Structure 1
Amino acid sequence: MKLVVQVKLLPTPQQAAAFEATLRACNEAATWVSEVAFERGEFKNFALRKRVYGEVKSRWGLGAQAAQHVIKKTCDAYTTLRANLKAGNLGRPGSKRYRRATEKPIMFRPQGAQPYDDRMLSWQIPDRTVSIWTPGGRVKNVAFTASPEQLAALALYRKGESDLLERDGMWFLSATCEVPEAPLDTDPVDFLGIDLGIVNIATTSDGEILAGRALNRIRARERTLRAKLQKKNTPSAKRRLKKRRRKEARRAKDINHKIAKHVVAEAERTGRGIALEDLTRIRERVRLRKPQRATHSSWSFAQLGSFIAYKARKAGVPVVHVDPAYTSRTCAECGHIDRANRVSQAWFACRNCGFVDHADRNSSRNIRARAWQLWRRGAQSTAPAPPRQHRRIGTGRKRSVTASDARCTSPAL
């Protein structure tokens, strides 16, 4: 199973300047390669390399390995774009968003991440230093900081590429690790149902409510502050906006990691599987009033679900996704379905048998029952390999290079 360890580099000013020049040169070269690929309609790695490899090396002073990684990064960006177009993530064909994504070549940010292989980067884990290639020569003895868990993962499981990236003036290396998986439990005694929500982030069928009141309060405060600063539009307001960006997302991600870890640990301890709702494209299916749209759009259910899925896969816990239809209106005791059963956001009262329970707990019990029925009928675990940007060991995080470093303005493929 592939996980990503992200460590923070501690370069000197001279080393940081060399890294900055490296990213700038590599991304300028990648933008030029993208323009050539767009103009000629050539998006395959081997064929594109024949056209641009020599000029990438001579014009930007890149080494052989760096030039090949630049070309491959460009091809990967177009592959990502093609997948997004096919999945409908950029709108329907002919829409303004679709045309904006297909009428121009992909452009790479000057500080976009750059992949490195073992020929360009070497780790000295006991000394906590790395040696990194730059166009101006090898930069050696670059210090980094990492937790004991991260150091152990790097020493035992590191395999494949590492990405050099800069964020908010800080430098990071994201290393790929092949971590062994625990064997999947094919005979769980039951399932732990998880109801995902906005007011309560997650509610288990055991009755444990992981409330999101504090997170929602923080999000509302951040939203109000952003609106005030954007309206003010002074230099100091812009500096403060820049300083606070991604702060809310980092906090939400940390909370989701903690919830996922707790849920998987509980399921593993009790020998159960995990039952989740299949909420794919819920934002397209649900219509909301304007005051509710911002709250609903900031609901990170997909992130929490992917965290639970990959942590369960690592622990060998089966995961089953079920149809969420009518789980909030169905009585977990008698099975009676009625819209009037949902008395309020918090409470459920069955009109047939009189059963009363917390609404989210009732829903999670229905999710558990559906998962158990599916599993007994031979359903397989649906814990997939997680997206690379959602995997973490310790405090390490990684984002997709081709998805986040490339601006999606490229041709229809």
Structure 2
Amino acid sequence: MKLVVQVKLLPSPEQAAALLATLGACNRAADHVSQVAFGSGVKDRNGLQKLVYADVKATFGLSAQPAVRVVKKVVDAYSALAAGLKAGRLGGPGSKRYRSAVGSPVGFRPEAAQPFDDRCLSWQTDGRTVSIWTVDGRMRGIRYTGSPDQLKTLAEYRRGESDLVRRGGKWFLIATCDLPDPEVYEPADWIGVDRGIVNLATTSDGSNYQGRRLNRYRRWKARKRAALQARRTRSATRRLGARAKKEQRHATDVNHRISKEIVSVAKRTGRGIAVEQLDGIRERVRLRRDQRATLSSWPFHQLGQHLAYKARRAGVPFLEVDAAYTSQRCPRCGHTERANRSTRDHFSCRRCGLAGPADVVAGVNVRNRARSA
């Protein structure tokens, strides 16, 4: 399985200056290559490289391999844009975002991440240092740090290219690691997980991971964001960006802790994990205006991703089942009716009288569907 490991670089002031100059040169070159690709319509790697390779080396001071990586970076950016347009993530062909995306070249920030392969960057895991190509020559002995688990994974399983990233004035390297897939055991049973907005996750065992605290935090953040947006100053814009990143990190941490606990329970009891398949839920539901922000910031998809990869890494079976009517179906008699869920929190079957917390009932239905699957 593929796993991304991020470590923090600890460069000296001279090394940091060289890294910053390198990012600037690579992204100026990427902008130039992007304009050539947009103007000529050539967006395949080999064709584009023939057009710009010599010019990139001569004009921007890049050596051979960094020039190749810049071309590949631009090709990947246009491929990602084409995939986003096809999936409708930028609206229809008549929308403003769609027209803006297809009507101008892809741009690159001066400090956008730059990929390096093993010819441009080498790792010395015993000494916790890296050697990296820069426009000022090869920089050796740049120290890095990370958690013991990250460093062990990096030393044993790192494969392929690594990305140099500058974020908040700090330097990071993001490396791809290829871990062997552990053997998945045959589950004795399943844990059904129902994901929601009020309760982020509820299991068929009755464990409830409430989202009220997270939602209060997000509402408070939304009020602060509205106040800053009303100021319309540069400092307010900077603070808005910092607050958005902080909110995202907080939600990610919550999802990590929830998924870690569910996977550990499943592994300890020899069971698998079953979740609802919620792909396309934003397109299927129609909401009031005051509900849209809540659904758009709902981290259910990220929680499902965390559950999937943590289960795979631990060898725990993972299954997605049909989400239709899991909150309206009685797990005892099978009667399905909207009136079974009289309120958001309470379920009461109109046929057999089975009653209980609605999210727990939904988790039980998910578990039963995994059993039958």
Q: TM-score, normalised by structure 2?
A: 0.97
Cα 1:44–1:238 shift into 2, 3 Å: closer
C-alpha separation between the residues in 2 aligned to 1:261 and 1:323?
24
C-alpha separation between the residues in 2 aligned to 1:235 and 1:81?
29
C-alpha separation between the residues in 1 aligned to 2:280 and 2:371?
24
Match of 1:266 in 2: 265
Match of 1:152 in 2: 152
Pairing 1:137–2:137 present: yes
Match of 1:363 in 2: 362
Match of 1:288 in 2: 287
After TM superposition, give the deviation of residue 127 of structure 1 in Å.
Answer: 2.1
After TM superposition, give the deviation of residue 235 of structure 1 in Å.
Answer: 4.9
Match of 1:54 in 2: 54
Match of 1:229 in 2: 228
C-alpha separation between the residues in 2 aligned to 1:233 and 1:32?
32
1:259 partner letter: I
After TM superposition, give the deviation of residue 164 of structure 1 in Å.
Answer: 0.2
Match of 1:329 in 2: 328
After TM superposition, give the deviation of residue 13 of structure 1 in Å.
Answer: 2.0
Pairing 1:43–2:40 present: no
2:258 partner letter: I
Count of residues paired in the alignment: 373
Q: Which runs of 4+ in 1 moved over 6 A?
A: none
C-alpha separation between the residues in 1 aligned to 2:69 and 2:265?
42
C-alpha separation between the residues in 2 aligned to 1:243 and 1:317?
37
Please, which runs of 5 or more residues in structure 2 have no aligned partner?
Answer: none
Match of 2:254 in 1: 255
1:144 partner letter: Y
SS at match of 1:171: strand
After TM superposition, give the deviation of residue 130 of structure 1 in Å.
Answer: 1.4
1:243 partner letter: A
1:58 partner letter: A
Please, which runs of 5 or more residues in structure 1 have no aligned partner?
Answer: 375-413
Q: Which structure ranks higher in relative contact order (CA pairs < 8 Å, sequence separation ≥ 6)? A: 1
Pairing 1:302–2:308 present: no
SS at match of 2:140: strand
Match of 2:77 in 1: 77
Match of 2:8 in 1: 8
After TM superposition, give the deviation of residue 195 of structure 1 in Å.
Answer: 0.2
C-alpha separation between the residues in 1 aligned to 2:262 and 2:279?
21
Where in structure 2 are the equivalents of 1:8-407 lying within 5 Å? 8-185=8-185, 187-374=186-373
C-alpha separation between the residues in 2 aligned to 1:86 and 1:313?
30
SS at match of 1:276: strand
C-alpha separation between the residues in 1 aligned to 2:240 and 2:292?
22
C-alpha separation between the residues in 1 aligned to 2:181 and 2:173?
24
Identity across the alignment (%): 57
The CA RMSD over aligned residues, in Å, is: 1.4
C-alpha separation between the residues in 2 aligned to 1:210 and 1:307?
15
Match of 1:396 in 2: none
Match of 1:411 in 2: none
C-alpha separation between the residues in 2 aligned to 1:267 and 1:138?
48
Q: Deviations over 1:108-141 (max 9, x none)?
A: 1111100111111122222222121101111222
2:256 partner letter: H
C-alpha separation between the residues in 1 aligned to 2:90 and 2:239?
31
C-alpha separation between the residues in 2 aligned to 1:340 and 1:89?
35
SS at match of 2:160: strand
2:236 partner letter: A
1:90 partner letter: L
After TM superposition, give the deviation of residue 234 of structure 1 in Å.
Answer: 4.2
C-alpha separation between the residues in 2 aligned to 1:350 and 1:98?
47
C-alpha separation between the residues in 2 aligned to 1:240 and 1:154?
34
Q: Identify which range, 97-106 or 59-68, moves more after superposition.
A: 97-106
